[in-house]
Chains A and B, each alone.
Chain A
Amino acid sequence: MKTFETVIGLEIHAQIRTKTKIFCGCSTSFGSDPNTQTCPICIGMPGVLPVLNKKVVEFVIKAGLATNCTISKYSRFARKNYFYPDLPKGYQISQFELPLCQRGSLTIDGKTININRIHIEEDAGKNIHDTSDIHSLVDLNRAGVPLMEIVTEPDIASPLEAGAFMRKLRAILRYLDVCDGNMEEGSLRCDANISLRPIGVKELGVKAEIKNLNSFRYVEKALEYEIGRQTKILQDGGRIIQETRLFNTQSGKTVSMRSKEESHDYRYFPEPDLVPIAVNGQWIDDIRKTITELPDQKAARFISDYKLPAYDANLLTIERYTADWFEEAVRLGGDPKQASNWMMGELMRLVNEKNISIEQSLLKPTHLVDMLKLVAEGTISGHTAKIVFEDMFNTGKTSSEIVKEKGLVQISDSGQLDTVIDEVISANSKEYLRYKAGETKLLGFFVGQVMKATKGKANPKLLNDTILKKLSL
């Protein structure tokens, strides 16, 4: 049986986060009533002309610099011609020869994935088919929204690597604030090209292109499925046909959409309504200066400055806001590793449960740091801290307020604790006898019972010491 290696290349479409569309002044905001964010230019009325939004160029140069691309001093737009009702002009203004950014790369776990190009284009509108039996409707709000298309070389060797690349790219684009990375709203989507070849063979195999994957998980799942499908065909001595496939999120399978023969001839040619984009070195330098620390650099700094493990540093730096949150906590006097633990544990759990972002949470770094002080001073136990933390998260109150209101001050008084422990032991005489008979793992049970009785307020160290003493009597 032959073994194959996987070759993957990605084409990623990222919506560029400008306030207005690429060639007119219409808003780019998401979710408005159909065709309310349109004008004669973006609906392709006769005689109107596109005027390039300079911010779009600036944002794409920024993305290009952050992904180690060469910025073209001279690039131009091209028309990509095809007929579809959501494409109002009958062509998409894109770039073909001479894209704005070329030859970049990203490093994923020490491996370099090369980027072939990043170019600018406009988005199409949206066809709506489910409102009438006879007609389809067209919403052109999205028509003319600026996109950048990031095309990788076929350097990706596995679905996981593809997912990791997407995650890294999304993190960078969000750091730069050039794309919101919202995959559910379609701000970031991906076409994946995948082929297999026998190990040791240089030439690429015949590829399939999987269109429009709009989550990291779908990228990974679709590619996994494709590997299985193509492997089986090749094992059985069959041949892969070059085609475009769609991923069905329900079945988890890809299905054929069109073969190479049916593919469009886009008849690209230079866009005569726009002048070429000339970019001078000064402009590039000015843009470069606006690029702040990127995720990889930040993670490296967290490791060296805060002595965080790589795992923590990487996780905390995926989102700039999270990283800033962490650093603010440290600045306010929080212990780096403790702050990291609380953020990666409780904070992440709570925001995921509530389906909000850390940014939207009422809990701020100062909350965490104040709470950590109460723990350090012994005012509250670590166990109580979890309760306080969740309460702060839900209400935005400070830890002191919550401790005071709910009477959560830790019991560090041995006399008070002695009484509770005695009560617990006498109420659980059977377990006590078993413990005495050598079943020492019941220690945890007694600790738990005391915690329960004290509503978690018992000072754990004191409790542990005292209970051990009492049980061994």
Chain B
Amino acid sequence: MELFSLTIAEAQRLLRKGEISNQELLRSVFDRIKNIDIKINAYVTITEEQAFDRLIAISGVNPSNPSCGIPIAIKDNLCTKGIKTTCSSKILGSFIPPYESAVTQKLLDSGYIFTGKTNLDEFAMGSSTENSGFFPTKNPWDIKRVPGGSSGGSAAAVSSGMCIAALGSDTGGSIRQPAAFCGVVGLKPTYGRVSRFGLIAFASSLDQIGPITKNVEDCAILMNIISGHDIKDSTCADFLAPDYTEVLKNGVKGLKIGMPKEYFIEGIDKDVENAVKLAIEQLAAMGAEVIPISLPHTEYSIAVYYILATSEASSNLARFDGVKYGLRIEGNNLLDMYLNTKSAGFGKEVKRRILLGTYSLSSGYYDAYYKKAQQVRTLIRKDFADAFKKVDVIITPTTPTPAFKLGEKMANPLQMYLNDIFTTPVNLAGIPAISIPCGLSKEGLPIGLQIIGRDFDEETILRTSYAFEQATEHHKRIPPI
């Protein structure tokens, strides 16, 4: 077995026993990157030199630290001190932050080492990583297909062994959907569970950082590191996070699983539907109780999401104006400079969303769009709260279809947006959800199972996921690359 295909837990065990060195582990991963990233394009920036320097610097500091030197990939919208952070946008093409994001700092403090910064849809706006301002990332399962997005680089890197695990961010499905498309595990924690400090904002009330890993145990290990209060993020919950690895083995006996009828509808791919239903049956066979439920406002999610997310984005992206950092294209006057810089710096999808959001917030339209969307968001949140009075988790497909082909949906943004139909309601409600592999389509593409939990109840979804994973082999499948 190649070292690059290890999980965090396996690597920790082997490192502790002294059967492998962290030097070897790092070497294996960087060799893997060298060999296959030409085909995948998962990385915007590869930090091999810094990684080995860091390994030397930290080795010996705490020799018993089992995570010392485990290589992690970081989505390129998380600020890393001294390392270029681009958001896959030309407007930040050469931006080097003078500060470290809260989550990457926690990883560094725990001894992890960064392999580099992974590609994303520019400013995390997209579902295929085709909106990257630099290049699209390919799906390791079929390089003619997209890896999903926006954390496509991270998911592709984890799936193809170009890192041991990765961090992504999820605003409307950006961790779960690429995790589903690439056959890996991706968790979007509860809003407020993980500090957003240093995450370059797309939509502040929806963004959340989470792990993308090869299995559920790794997901719990990374959650233990990145969760918890941070005084630098006022929206971060100010109570302690539990030990997520402790509850993994508690099983699903007596667990109540909700199956929302609105998520099993006409138009979803047959293979996806079958795989998800089969997974639910397997969980039932293990002692869980399946209860049909309804989330009646589901159909409004996409509309609400694209109003709120774009509104916040139009404001969040205003700071990229050429005045202080990043790209500046000079002009004859201030307005020219603004227009030149933003025209050249932002891609088509980002411009589209800034325009949509600006419109929604404009005086005269605010009540009909932004305000109405906030009201419906409350109803969507209530749908889930009501459902969680009856069930412990809700299980749905992560996406309506497996990975689609590059270019297939670029001409039709609405088709692209519909890909997020099962993931956006979770962000609107602020609750946690995971995507885990639950099978392959007839074409051999991974299918994702979404398990949604109560506010701050990542433990139950991790426990459910772990039980399923232990009973199945889906997570062991690796892409043919």
Contacts and interface: CB of A to CB of B under 8 A. Distances in A.
A88 B319 contact: yes
A236 interface: no
Given A46-B95, A47-B101, A273 B197 contact: no
Interface stretch (A37-45, A204-212, A280-288): A37-45
A414 B200 CA distance: 91
A91 B234 contact: no
B234 A272 contact: no
A338 to B, nearest CB: 57
Contacts of A88: 319, 323-324
A90 B231 contact: no
A296 to B, nearest CB: 38
Q: Is the interface of B mostly helix, strand, loop or mixed?
A: loop
Contacts of A260: none
A45 B200 CA distance: 9
Contacts of A85: 321, 323, 334
Contact of A46 (B200, B205, B231, B370): B200
A348 interface: no
Q: Using C-beta atoms within 8 Å of the partner chain, give the interface range for chain B.
A: 35 or more
A89 B318 contact: yes
Given A46-B92, A89-B318, A89-B319, A275 B234 contact: yes
Nearest to B357: A267
A269 interface: yes
A272 B308 CA distance: 11
B63 interface: no
A130 interface: no
B234 A46 contact: no
B233 A49 contact: yes
Contacts of A50: 234
A275 B324 CA distance: 27
Interface in A43-87: 43-52, 79, 81, 83, 85
A440 B115 CA distance: 106
B228 interface: no
Contacts of A255: none
A109 interface: no
Contacts of B87: 46
A267 B234 contact: no
A274 interface: yes
A160 interface: no
A265 B363 contact: yes
Contact of B315 (A91, A136, A138, A274): A91
Contact of A51 (B234, B318, B338): B234
Contact of A47 (B199, B205, B311): B199
B234 A269 contact: no
A267 B363 contact: yes
B370 A40 contact: no
A272 B205 contact: yes
A275 B235 contact: yes
A143 B226 CA distance: 31
Contacts of B321: 83, 85, 90
Given A40-B98, A90-B321, A267-B358, 8 more contacts: A47-B101, A48-B197, A83-B338, A267-B314, A269-B312, A269-B315, A269-B361, A273-B234
Interface of A: 40, 43-52, 79, 81, 83, 85, 88-91, 136, 138, 265, 267-269, 272-275
Nearest 8 pairs of A and B residues by beta carbon:
A90-B318, A267-B361, A272-B204, A272-B205, A46-B200, A47-B200, A47-B79, A47-B198
